[in-house]
Amino acid sequence: DQSLEQADPELFDIIEHEKCRQWGGIELIASENFTSRAVMDCLGSCLTNKYSEGLPGKRYYGGNEYIDQVESLCQRRALAAFNLDAQAWGVNVQPYSGSPANFEVYTALLNPHDRIMGLALPSGGHLTHGYYTAKKKLSASSIFFESLPYQLDMATGRIDYDALETQAKLFLPKILICGASAYPRDYDYARLRKIATDIGAYLMADIAHFSGLVSSNVLSNPFEYCDVVTTTTHKTMRGPRSAIIFFKKELEDRINGAVFPALQGGPHNNNIAGVATQLRELATEEYKEYARQVVKNSRALADELISLGYTLVSNGTDNHLMLWDLRPQGLTGNKFEKVCDAVRITLNKNSVPGDTSALTPGGVRVGTPAMTTRGLNEDNFKTVAHFLHRAIQISLEIQEATGKKLNDFLAAIPENEKIKALKQEVF
Ligand code: PLP
């Protein structure tokens, strides 16, 4: 009956430090957020003790009368949050997280080595959309399926729908995937639907990043056009770490069977409860106001960075994030990320169109969901732009003070050719 503090002070202390870190700086990682006390209460509840393989009313274990109620409530709220008709759409709330959810969709709809097409990772797509490099198939989505990613138009920083269409008509994927992890613009779902229909493919949207904005009608609605929609629940949605798969009713048995028994065992009922209470919050006017503010803040930050002379991919944003191209400043994303860490601003390095090195991407991704939860408005985000501006100046000063001198000094020390080549790429 001891609290964590009493039972394990060493671990308690680490978590307290992480809490201080999270609340003690400017959190700009586009995929992160601060979830509520109510969600945390669900995560730490007795629901974590229960096994409940199967679906509500059809379980492989006894004692599931309350678990059934939790999961059914979560399903109903999920459909309601996205305004979906239960006759036409089904939902599975059991996926442990976004990556398994996507693989579950592929398992349901594809045979091994069938083809998929999603946005390339260096263009902002996610690993699970079929990513591989010239050297290696890194993601299970490219190991078990054949993938041909589509790209951005390098000039505009937007998806090149014409090239996508040409490529799709040659490659004939069975699933066309849209949605991304680092794309600052909305999607042309009508065009994607037409392409998918022309080639007889399923259209899948992975709205992990921006599902909270979709449910609040701040972005266009993929459900009008897609066969399957997946989302994580911990990004703009602000819930616990989990995921949801929405599917057209006729795919119900295949999707449910892919989640369990094909890929998962017992559902994480404490997470499902956390998702359920977060979906209740999504339906409130307060949350919708939050979603609108996320985008207003994103635009305010983007405008201020542009007026300070910086370059954003596609010259702005429609959603909760922007991609900042640091190549005009002569900085890499790695360096800027480190300097920001040192001044308590958290963001992440990210590739930008035209990057030549995956090791040292030329930009960073910046998002507003977390700090909007903490109450920041457009004026506050203009101030954030000036903190970032200062961090750029510091980065340039560090580069100026150490870069050349150190490189000249090290150049005099003999080293092998491979290391020399790597250093040239990285520094
Ligand atoms: N899909 C997209 C678009 C994502 O951005 C992410 C995570 O960043 C995922 C899927 C995977 O989610 P998870 O990290 O929960 O596996």
Identify the residue whose C-alpha is closest to ligand 1 atom 13.
98
Do 259 and 283 meet the contact criterion of CB atoms below 8 Å apart? no
| Catalytic one of 77, 174, 235, 238 | 235
Q: Look at residue 410 in the predicted model and tell me its pLDDT.
A: 79
- Phi-psi map region of 316: left, alpha, beta (phi>0 left; psi -120 to 50 alpha): left
Q: How far is the CA of 104 from the centre of ligand 1 (A)?
A: 13
Q: How do residues 370-402 score in pLDDT, each as one tens digit? A: 999 999 999 999 999 999 999 999 999 988 887
Judge whether 84 and 245 are in contact, CB under 8 Å: no
Cα 50 from chain centre: 29
Distances (CA, A) of 251 to 58, 133, 205, 258, 261: 19, 32, 15, 11, 16
Question: Which ligand 1 atom sits nearest the alpha carbon of residue 102?
Answer: 10
Distances (CA, A) of 105 to 185, 205, 374: 24, 11, 34
Answer for the pair 349, 31: CB distance below 8 angstroms, yes or no.
no
Mutate to test the pocket of ligand 1, among 32, 35, 128, 139 (most ligand atoms within 8 A of CB): 128
**Are the C-beta atoms of residues 230 and 236 closer than 8 Å to each other?**
no
Asked, as a colleague might, if the bond just before 261 is cis with ω within 30 of 0, I would say yes
Nearest CA to ligand 1 atom 11: 98
| Cα of 411 vs its chain's centroid, Å | 41
Query: Rounded to an integer, what distance in angstroms lies between the CA atom of residue 427 and that of residue 419?
Result: 12
How far does residue 126's CA lie from ligand 1's centre (Å)?
7
Catalytic (active site) residue 206? yes
**3-state class percentages of the chain: helix first, strand second, coil last, to nearest 5:** 50, 15, 35
Instruction: State which ligand 1 atom lies nearest to the alpha carbon of 125.
Output: 3
DSSP state of 283: T
Of ligand 1's listed atoms, the one at least distance from the Cα of 234 is: 15
**Cα 405 to averaged position of ligand 1 atoms, centre (Å):** 41
For 197, the token pair is: 């229909």
What pLDDT sits at residue 126?
95
Cβ-contact 12, 215 below 8 angstroms: no
* Interface pTM, i.e. ipTM: 0.99
Q: For residue 299, how far is its CA from the centre of ligand 1 (angstroms)?
A: 23
Confidence at 422, pLDDT banded by 50, 70, 90: confident
Exposure on the CB side of residue 239, measured as CA atoms within 13 A = 32
Tell me the residue type at 374: R
Buried b / exposed e over 130-143, threshold 16 CB at 10 Å, is bbbeeeeeebbbbe
**Ligand 1 centre and the CA of 27: distance in Å?**
18
The tokens of 218 are what?
A: 């701040």
**Closest approach atom of ligand 1 to CA 129:** 1
Contact (Cβ atoms closer than 8 angstroms) between residue 141 and residue 116:
yes
Closest to 230 (Cα-Cα) out of 204, 253, 248, 267: 204
- Among protein residues, the one with the nearest Cα to ligand 1's atom 14 is 98
pLDDT of residue 294: 98
Contacts of 255 (CB under 8 A, 6+ apart): 90, 92, 104, 105, 108, 228, 245, 247
426 pLDDT tier (thresholds 50, 70, 90): low
Instruction: Single out the residue of 135, 12, 20, 67 nearest to residue 272, CA to CA.
Output: 67
Alpha-carbon dihedral 320, 282, 91, 197, rounded to 10 degrees? -40
- Measured by CA distance, the residue closest to atom 12 of ligand 1 is 98
Is 365 designated active site? no
Known catalytic residue at 232: yes
Q: What is the pLDDT of residue 105?
A: 98
Tens-digit pLDDT profile for residues 33-71:
999 999 999 999 999 999 999 999 999 999 999 999 999
pLDDT at res. 274: 98
For residue range 127-185, list pLDDT tens digits in order.
999 999 888 898 999 999 999 999 999 999 999 999 999 999 999 999 999 999 999 99
* 103 CA to centre of ligand 1 in angstroms: 11
Output the ligand 1 site: residues, CB below 6 A: 31, 97-99, 102, 126, 128, 179-181, 206, 208-209, 232
Catalytic, 241? Answer: yes
Residue 321 has pLDDT above 90, yes or no: yes
Q: Report the alpha-carbon distance of residue 113 to residue 244 in Å, rounded.
A: 25
Q: E-strand spans in 151-221?
A: 175-178, 202-206
> How close are the terminal C-alpha atoms of the chain, in Å?
53
Instruction: Check residue 399 and give its pLDDT.
Output: 85
Cβ distance 89 to 120 under 8 Å? no
Atom index in ligand 1 nearest the CA of residue 179 equals: 3
Torsions phi, psi for 366 (to 5 deg)? -130, 130
What is d(CA 264, CA 284) in angstroms, rounded to the nearest whole number? 32
